[in-house]
Structure formats: C-alpha cells, structure tokens
Amino acid sequence: MIFALAVGSTAAASAQPAPAQATAASSEQSVNLIAVQAGRERLPEHWLLEEGVLSSSAGARPLASGLSWERPGEVRVTLSLASAEATAASLVLGASHLGFAGRSGRPFVEGPLFGGATRFLEARPAAAGEELSARVVRTAAGRVEVFLRGELCFEGPGPEGSWGEVALRPQRDRLRVTAWSGEGLTPLPGPLGAATTVWRSGDGANTFRIPALIQAADGAVLAFCEARQGSSSDTGNIDLVLRRSEDGGRTFGPSQVLWDDGPHTCGNPCPVVDRRTGRILLLATRNLGQDHESEIIAGTSEGTRTVWVLSSDDHGRTWSKPRELTATAKEPSWTWYATGPGAGIQLQHGPHAGRLVIPCDHIEAETRRYFSHALLSDDGGATWRLGGTTPRDQVNECEVAELEGGALLLNMRNYDRAQRTRQQAVSRDGGETWTEQRHVPELMEPICQASLRRLRWRSADAPGVLLFSNPGSRDGRVALTLRASFDDGATWPRSWLLDPGPSAYSCLAALADGSILCLYEAGGYREIVCRRLEARDLDL
C-alpha cells in the first residue's frame, strides 16, 4: 500500500482560486484552509464539506487551495484514509512528498524540500481509518522540519523562494480531513483563459494522450489525440481520434475515430493544413500492438515503426484511409520513429513557400542515438521525403516554426540530464539541413514534449511573436507555462502560467481571430484540456 502525505505539485487543473476574503495571508496570520473551501462557489466534483469536515469520494480529483507557500510558517493537516492500501493520497506543496510507501507503509520524504532523494523515516505506518496529524514547518532560518503524530521525523535545509501551492490529493483512496491550516501562504493568481475538457480518461478509452491541434481553412478547430484502449501504456491497442469545434475551441463535437487498426498502435498525430487547397494532412506512426518501444529500439520486436498519412478534403469531416510512407520517410537503419507529436507547418515565404514541413525524430539501430529530423512535401502532401537530421543527438520529439527571414527553427526535447533545457537548431534551406544546434537556457524542461507556434509576423506597428508551451519545471511535468519571444526565439522575456498542476504534452494553435488555443494533458493524464486565450489579454 502507499499512503503519501505528499508535499508535491499535484493541484488540479480545474481548481478555482480561493476567494480573496479567505486568502489574505501572512506569516503572522493562520489561514483555515477548510474555511477557504467553504468560501468557494462550489467544490470540485466528488468533494463534500459537511459540518467543517472535508471528504472525498471515489474518483475525486485533487483539491487546490489557491495558496502558495512563500514565507516562514507551517502547514498542518489532520486526516484519515478509508483503506490506506495502494494509494497515493497527498497533501500537496510544490514538488516534494511526505508519505507512507508501498505495502510496508514505511514513511518517507522526497523531493526538493527534502534534498531530492527518497529518505525513509522512523515512524509508525498509517492504518485505515486512523486520524493522522502531520505538520511541515518552514523556519525563519530557512530550514524544513516534518512532524508526524507530533514527533519530529525530519529536518534539513530548505530551498529559497516559493515552496509551491498547497492542495490535497486523494488518488485511489478516500480522504476525511478534519483540520487543514497554514501560515506564510500567499494567494496564487488564477490560470489565464477559459478551459474546456475535450477528453476525459475512462470516457470511451482507458486514457487519452498525445494532443495535436490545428485550425482548418474553414475556421473549424480540430483536436486530435491517441485513444489508448486497454491501458495508459505507449503500446497496445491505440486508436487515433478527433473532435471538432465550430466556435473557436469553446466547445467540441463528438469524438470521431480516424484510425482503428484492431489491437495495434496508431499514434503520434501531427496534422498540417495546405492553405492553397484547404487539404489537411495527418501524419502518424504505426507498430504492432505486441511490440514495445524498447524491443523496437533493440531490434528484437516482431515488426517496426512505420510512417503513414491520412488526408481530408472537407476540413476534417471525413478522412481517407491511411497510406504508408515508410519507404520514402524512414531510413532502413532507423528503428524507433515518431511524427511530431504536435503540428506541422506550411512555409509562407522564400524560395520554398508552400512546402509542408513535419517535425519528426528517430533512433539509429547500431548506435541507439536519438535525433530529430524533418519530413518534407512540395506537392501538397501527394509525396513525402526526408529532410535534414540534427547534427547532434540526445534530442527527439520536436516542433518547427518559420522565422522572419525565411529560416526554420526546430525546438527539441532534450535528453542531456546535465542541462534540463530545450535544444534548438536552425535550417536556412527549408528543412533540408540543420545547423547551429544549442541549448536554450530560458526554456527549462523536465524532459517532455513541447509546442512552438508563430502568433504573428512582424509589422510596422509591432514585432513578430513566437509562442512556446511546456511544463515550466526541471523536476516534474507540472506548471504548464506559455512563453513569448519577440526576436525569433533568441530570447523569451514573457511568460504566463496556464495550469499550476500536473501537465505534460501540449499543442498550440494561433487562430485567425487572433486568439490562442493550447490543447494539453492535465491532471496526471486524466484529461486533455483546451485552454483559450485572447492575445489582447496577454498584451502581445
């Protein structure tokens, strides 16, 4: 069993900021966090507040307080678990954990507040139904202390700055919380924009992952993802699905299956629109459902990864059957292969205007080195061929944007764990070759996919704008952040928090009306959410 009094960044994406009258906090003032919840217009689904006691029922998502821990003080909670078996129930603060691990129930701490590594504590395991008190202290001297049942279990140096948002997460258990309070807490600004849940895990598939987003030539917004049928695994029975929005991403129609190949894996959606014809091309990959990624990389699988394209000539209402491109899109010496995920682009300027560019990645069979590359079409998607590969390895999932002078910028997931930042490369020949590969210190990442999109071109009145989204953390897939560059990706001076909680893959779309959509994985892969932002609200 696991019972985690987790001090971690797992606030729900849909949680509302706490009311202002309940969150005026300082290090001298204690905030009753149960009273904060009482002041909300309504609690999230599966949470109840009766006679001063908070309780969760099966399926409850995390309950965020809307407060982050910024100054010396302490956070206290008294709670009990219904079963205390196979759970990950949490008190949440940043990206750290205080809890009870596995079937042994041994208490532990881990994460930035406690030096990073997992440390087991000398304390009695939790029992089902036991009322358990926990207290985490941030001292004026900058140290962290942990008390369980009133006894000091851990002490050590704490990090400077914010210790993160306070929240509760029942995860696979039911919580009963009789006391919850703290000092040194500050109200968090609410996430920008309006969010709509597009897919929810369990509604037609075990898990929905790998979002992709485009706007069709008729103005409709098309959201794509993988519907993982049997489990949340990257392999097995996985279908490609689509939902369509006719109102700019505010609401979406029913889910439509584009590619169901029985027990096999159809995934990595990467759409692009040919603006000359309105045709939509959806690049994707396939492998046998029984073949795992590690086996494909090692060359021990029954099959391999293959590359395919689907197309629509009616703005995404109907689709062609998948057509295989492997012979021209993949070298025989490559094992693993992925299109996107995210979206491709069509070049608008220069000698290659009209070219379709799909960002991809692959692994070499003999060296097992990871590289990013491009897939190109100069005839509206009728034929496809390989473009250039990055000069250095340790990069894979990527997205591409056209720069002001006609060059291309490739932004890549980075596997160099010594530098938890994105990498980028430049092409000055339409994606045929890539050079100038480097790390981007301003774009931190926990090793995760990200999105890159042009919002607008430079004009006499305003600079051009590139947008970038990813989990804004080096330690975990949390805090989905939007960033803006006004110099073609050289610097990223502006940023906005889109979701403080668990958040992973994302895909941006800049709509014709000037608004911005971000389709992303939220709530620990429990949802795919579309967040709509107005450019004027961002002052861009």
> Number of helices (H) and strands (E), helices first, in the chain?
4, 39
Q: Is the pLDDT assigned to residue 302 strictly greater than 60?
A: yes
pLDDT of 415: 94
156 CA to centre of own chain: 31
| Out of 2-16, 41-55, 387-401, 516-530, least confident range | 2-16
Q: Is the pLDDT assigned to residue 85 strictly greater than 90?
A: no
pLDDT tens string 181-215: 999 998 877 678 899 999 999 999 999 999 999 99
pLDDT of 84: 65
Question: What's the rounded Cα separation, in Å, for the pair 496 and 490?
Answer: 18
pLDDT tens string 115-164: 777 788 888 887 888 898 999 999 999 999 999 999 999 999 988 777 87
Q: 255 and 242 in contact (C-beta within 8 Å)?
A: yes
Is the peptide bond between 391 and the residue preceding it cis, with omega within 30 degrees of 0?
no
b/e per residue 452-461 (b: at least 16 CB within 10 A): bbbbeeeeee
Q: 262 and 235 in contact (C-beta within 8 Å)?
A: no
Confidence of residue 62 (pLDDT cuts 50, 70, 90): confident
**In the numeric block, which tokens belong to residue 23?**
């969150």
**What is the residue-averaged pLDDT of the chain?**
89
Question: What's the rounded Cα separation, in Å, for the pair 395 and 407?
Answer: 20
Segment 49-54 mean pLDDT: 94
Amino acid occupying residue 333: S
pLDDT of 298: 95
Q: Between 503 and 17, where is the model more confident?
A: 503
Q: With residue 536 as reference, give the H or E element that holds it.
A: helix 535-538
Confidence of residue 539 (pLDDT cuts 50, 70, 90): confident
Closest CA relative to residue 445, chosen from 359, 386, 504, 402: 504
- The C-alpha torsion from 230 through 236 and 237 to 242, rounded to 10°, is 100
pLDDT of 102: 56
Confidence of residue 92 (pLDDT cuts 50, 70, 90): confident
Q: 46 and 60 in contact (C-beta within 8 Å)?
A: yes
pLDDT tens string 208-241: 999 999 999 999 999 999 999 999 999 999 999 9
- Full-prediction pTM beyond 0.85? no
Segment 166-170 mean pLDDT: 83
Segment 45-58 mean pLDDT: 92
Closest CA relative to residue 102, chosen from 81, 126, 136: 126
Segment 22-30 mean pLDDT: 50
pLDDT tens string 492-525: 999 888 987 889 999 999 999 999 999 999 988 9
Closest CA relative to residue 309, chosen from 320, 294, 297: 320
Confidence of residue 103 (pLDDT cuts 50, 70, 90): low
pLDDT tens string 454-463: 999 999 989 9
Q: Is the pLDDT assigned to residue 165 strictly greater than 50?
A: yes
Q: Enumerate domains of the chain plus CATH numbers.
A: 20-187 (2.60.120.200), 194-538 (2.120.10.10)
Q: Is the pLDDT assigned to residue 396 strictly greater than 90?
A: yes
Q: Between 64 and 253, where is the model more confident?
A: 253
Q: Is the pLDDT assigned to residue 1 strictly greater than 50?
A: no
Q: 520 and 196 in contact (C-beta within 8 Å)?
A: no
Segment 466-479 mean pLDDT: 89
pLDDT of 39: 86
Amino acid occupying residue 135: R
Question: What's the rounded Cα separation, in Å, for the pair 334 and 349?
Answer: 32
For 172, the 3-state DSSP assignment is coil
Question: What's the rounded Cα separation, in Å, for the pair 352 and 348?
Answer: 8
